[in-house]
Structure 1
Amino acid sequence: MGQNLWINGESVECDNYRPLFNPFNGEKIADVAEASKEDVIKAIDSAAGAAVTMAEMDAHKRSDILRRVAELIQEDRDECARLIAEESSKPLKAARGEVDRTIMTYRFASEEARRLHGETIPMDAAPGGEGRVAYTVREPLGVIAAITPFNFPMNLVAHKVGPAIAAGNTVVLKPASQTPLSAYKIASYFHEAGLPAGALNVVTGSGKSVGDVLIADDRVKMVTFTGSPEVGKHIRENAGLKRVTLELGSNSALIVDEGTDLKKVMPRIVTGAFSNQGQVCISIQRIFVHEAIAAEFVSLFIEEAGKLKVGDPLDEQTDLAAMISGYDVTRAKAWIQAAVENGAELVYGGDSERQILKPTVLLNAKLTDKISCEEVFAPVVHINTFNHFADAIAKANDSKYGLQAGVYTNDLQKAMQAAKKLHVGGVMINEIPTFRVDHMPYGGVKMSGTGREGIKYALEEMTELKLVSIKLD
């Protein structure tokens, strides 16, 4: 099938198409439109033209559109999950979980559209402010460029499109090249739900041909991006005075203190390490275990990892399937090999079959190894030990990233110490760093990005605050 662009409420043909292949079996899924610079400008024209309509649309109407989108996805839940599994190789049961989260994200957006409000300001709190009433309102920015990754092709689209529409903005969406069909599917639901033409446009193509045009156009008032730090840095340096939200990389750490019930928590930890082939921004990559329980931890971790079923993403029983590209398999294996040559011990996995990299466990990798200090974005973890809890925090902080971290401990003082001293955007106590629900504030520090997602918090990023002051006499 041929997948056209979606501009101004219509399916639009373009000059070039490229084949899209299933990462697991290599079968061709579709031919996908490759937008030219002129196509992207048409999409921006369309979004700019619809901006006044969206800004003037009543909040309850925006809310109803978002609620209807959630209902349409719910009706097509299995179809949406299969689409995600086919284009991204996400195992079907995980894909269903993503669809359910996507539904919830649009429901939250629907609710927040009705709650978008300002506050009254007590002007007489300052001398000279007497006899005045003042209040704030939040107004939409206008055109928002949303650039999304492959690993959650529906829910991470929802985290950008949902709050943008809730706030009364218009959107030009560039989905990841490997997972465009999920985004076009969402556009069809918005169209069916009654979103005005031009309010959501979807254009596919390379970052150079699409992303750079979006960043350069002065009519685009905000760029919201999830992806690599290198691209995020490029966006930040070239976006001028545009509002920019960046959700970038991580090498999330988990600290496991002595006294932790390892048998109880181990299935959760293994899930956090290997779900979606480790291709999750907050996937567990570095584990620091108290030396008193390290031997038992490693034994139980490997035993639990051995229970994972590796194979076809469309098999209901599959836990781990193909990575997004052959290049990523090769890269991850090279990093594993380099760590082993540098003294790390490979105790489980490490081999691959086609684009499937088996769950991999390393012991005592150096914190300077790429497998530790860079984002591996693969089903690979390394386990190191600590003696003093403060040392574990220091090791976790020894990173250029800071998205989320997890800590298992029964000691309240240590929990509070971790909450205070871990330099990350989110500290998960007695939970894996991979935990996220869709209304919580989510984002990082250092090279993990700027700004926050989570519908209420994204709405703040996607609106301008205006003060209105009235002199009463």
Structure 2
Amino acid sequence: MLQEVLKASDGTDVVDVFPFVAGAWGGVGPPLERTGPYLRRTVSRALTATAEEIDRALTRARAYAPEVATLAPAARADILEAASRNATAHRDGLARLLALELGKPLKDSRTEIDRVAATFAVCAAEARRIDGELLPVAGWPTGIGHTALTYRAPAGVALAITPFNAPANLLAHKLGASFAAGNTTLVKAPPQAPATSAAVVALLLDSGLPSQAVQLLYGYGDIGAALCAAEQVDVISFTGSAATGNAVARAAGAKRLALELGGNAATIVCEDADPAQAATVCARTGYSNSGQSCISVQRVYVHRSLYGDFLDAFTAVVDTLVVGDPLDDATDVGSMVDEGAAERVVTWAKEAVDLGATVVRGGTRDGATAAPTIVADPPPHASVVVHEVFGALVAVMPYDDFDTVLDQCNSSRYGLQAGLFTHDITRILTAWRRLEVGGLIVNGSSNFRLDHVPFGGVKDSGFGREAPRWLIDDYTVVKTLVLRGLSVWGENRELPKEAL
């Protein structure tokens, strides 16, 4: 299947992909067509899951779970390492798929596939280190004479619901970690990236992943809701908006959840920072993937003493960004996911102007391509400050007091990640303690991630941490073994007194 998908994406034909259910590619549901946001034509087509296919996938997943759990961690790791190598081998073809389906520039798409390869490699390493504990039960009187151990067992059936903005790498995280943990996984692909999702699943199957370990379904929110509510599912990993995350939690009921939701990321530039260097980083990371990242730079608070210099430098870097065809290697900013998303950038920029802000650059769109937009000094109640724009817009605001700006950052309902430019260790530790976020990036913008460190948020940004090691905690359950009357520890409550 992988070769067929990549070959189709090389031309101008529509890329047809199918569900993968019960070990076979195929389906009978109505077509789900994806219009490439830059090309403005159908670029891929999948088959929406039917009720019968959903039931069959759930039934088979339940039956497959014990089988997959018997595969040794070393065997899982070998397969994931092969998938890492194959991702690198097919880097250009996979990147082209991303560019076609999502309008993501080739340079960013290649970076995402590089991250897929790295993520699979990390998942392989984590599979090899899954372990348990010998518990210190003999440290308490009731435990004397006994032994207790634990190990992390597969949860069983995992459901992975992936978003459109990084469909390849986030699928690699969810599916890779789930398999590393020994689960079988149901994948609900984003409707905006059916071919990319199919390609990642096919790549894993080509790398030796047992067919029992994965099933792939396409559709919209109703398909996801049905899967979330299914009693056969043991654990759900979801990445998407806060509103959809709440719907997932309601549908799931009493299931284990890992939710990585929205963001409204802030970056603080202190008075001891280099404004030109900070501006370059913020500009490069504020418009990558057209700002469609939950940690993309959206709010930049700059100390008033540096505000003018920062804004000038920031604007100068934005002026160098190449906007256009995502299939052109020179392009920095491609199109957004659809015209509605691009219109949100335009509308919110206009609202900010009505409230007294200045649009320094952008504020326009051509179809789904939003011009990189800079909004200077919007008021605290403007949409560009309060809500998640998830688009090619950055708001730049001055501040006077460090304590106050921390409060301004915390005023958001979101708390995923923040950036801080300073060399003052006191400020760094204060911000780390006080900012209500899951991660703080020092001397970098909010938009920085290493795939092998914990990633996740607080408040409406969700809960759980999405990196292989921490996802494996969500994808496994602790099982305890107690050996009564058998002890590896000392059993005497006291030593006999020596005869004098």
TM-score range with shorter-chain normalisation? over 0.9
2:71 is equivalent to residue 64 of structure 1: no
Give the structure with higher Rg (CA). 2
2:434 is equivalent to residue 421 of structure 1: yes
Aligned to 1:83: 97
CA contact (8 A) 2:44 2:101 kept: no
CA distance in 2, matches of 1:30, 1:377: 24
Aligned to 1:52: 66
Aligned to 1:320: 333
Aligned to 2:395: 382
2:221 is equivalent to residue 204 of structure 1: no
Q: What does the per-residue CA deviation read over 1:18-44, in whole Å, with 9 as the maximum and x for residues that have no partner?
A: 322211011221321111122122222
For the residue of structure 2 that corresponds to 1:154, the secondary structure is: helix
CA distance in 2, matches of 1:447, 1:260: 30
Q: Write the mapping of 1:43-192 to structure 2, written as runs, cut at 5 A.
A: 43-192=57-206
- Picking from 295, 310, 334, the partner of 2:308 is 295
For the residue of structure 2 that corresponds to 1:441, the secondary structure is: coil
Amino acid at match of 1:275: S
CA distance in 2, matches of 1:295, 1:190: 50
CA contact (8 A) 1:7 1:198 kept: no
CA distance in 2, matches of 1:356, 1:367: 27
Aligned to 1:412: 425
* Structure 2 unaligned blocks of 5 or more: 1-14, 487-500
Deviates most, 409-418 or 8-17 = 8-17
Deviation at 1:160, TM superposition (A): 0.4
Deviation at 1:392, TM superposition (A): 1.1
Aligned to 2:250: 237
Q: Write the mapping of 1:252-263 to structure 2, written as runs, cut at 5 A.
A: 252-263=265-276
Deviation at 1:267, TM superposition (A): 2.1
CA contact (8 A) 1:24 1:312 kept: yes
CA distance in 2, matches of 1:145, 1:56: 19
Aligned to 1:372: 385
Deviation at 1:252, TM superposition (A): 0.1
2:455 is equivalent to residue 442 of structure 1: yes
CA contact (8 A) 2:187 2:215 kept: yes
Deviation at 1:59, TM superposition (A): 0.8
CA contact (8 A) 1:310 1:321 kept: yes
CA contact (8 A) 1:222 1:243 kept: yes
Aligned to 1:194: 208
Deviation at 1:15, TM superposition (A): 3.0
For the residue of structure 2 that corresponds to 1:134, the secondary structure is: strand
Scaled by the length of structure 1, the TM-score of the pair is 0.98
CA distance in 2, matches of 1:46, 1:428: 43
Deviation at 1:2, TM superposition (A): 2.6
Deviates most, 303-312 or 179-188 = 179-188
Deviation at 1:262, TM superposition (A): 2.0
Aligned to 1:37: 51
CA distance in 2, matches of 1:123, 1:84: 53
Amino acid at match of 2:418: A
Deviation at 1:131, TM superposition (A): 1.6
Deviation at 1:238, TM superposition (A): 2.1
Q: What does the per-residue CA deviation read over 1:113-151, in whole Å, with 9 as the maximum and x for residues that have no partner?
A: 110011111101112111222221001111111110111
CA distance in 1, matches of 2:197, 2:59: 20
Amino acid at match of 1:58: A
CA contact (8 A) 2:269 2:278 kept: no
CA distance in 2, matches of 1:2, 1:184: 10
Deviates most, 415-424 or 195-204 = 195-204
For the residue of structure 1 that corresponds to 2:446, the secondary structure is: coil
CA distance in 1, matches of 2:278, 2:397: 18
CA distance in 2, matches of 1:10, 1:83: 22
For the residue of structure 1 that corresponds to 2:234, the secondary structure is: strand
For the residue of structure 2 that corresponds to 1:368, the secondary structure is: coil
2:320 is equivalent to residue 307 of structure 1: yes
Aligned to 1:339: 352
> Post-superposition, which runs of at least 4 consecutive aligned residues in structure 1 deviate over 6 A?
none
Aligned to 2:25: 11
CA distance in 2, matches of 1:135, 1:91: 50
Aligned to 1:219: 232
Deviates most, 114-123 or 43-52 = 43-52
Alignment size in residue pairs: 472
Amino acid at match of 1:228: S
Aligned to 1:357: 370
Q: What does the per-residue CA deviation read over 1:49-97, in whole Å, with 9 as the maximum and x for residues that have no partner?
A: 2111111111111111111111111111111111111111110001000
CA contact (8 A) 1:49 1:198 kept: no
* Structure 1 unaligned blocks of 5 or more: none
Deviation at 1:263, TM superposition (A): 2.3
- Picking from 409, 412, 432, the partner of 1:396 is 409
- Picking from 462, 470, 473, the partner of 2:475 is 462
Deviation at 1:367, TM superposition (A): 1.9
What is the percentage of aligned positions where both structures have the same residue? 35
Amino acid at match of 1:364: D
Aligned to 2:484: 471
Scaled by the length of structure 2, the TM-score of the pair is 0.93
Q: What does the per-residue CA deviation read over 1:176-204, in whole Å, with 9 as the maximum and x for residues that have no partner?
A: 10111111111112222222223111100
For the residue of structure 1 that corresponds to 2:378, the secondary structure is: coil
Deviation at 1:346, TM superposition (A): 1.1
CA distance in 2, matches of 1:417, 1:49: 51
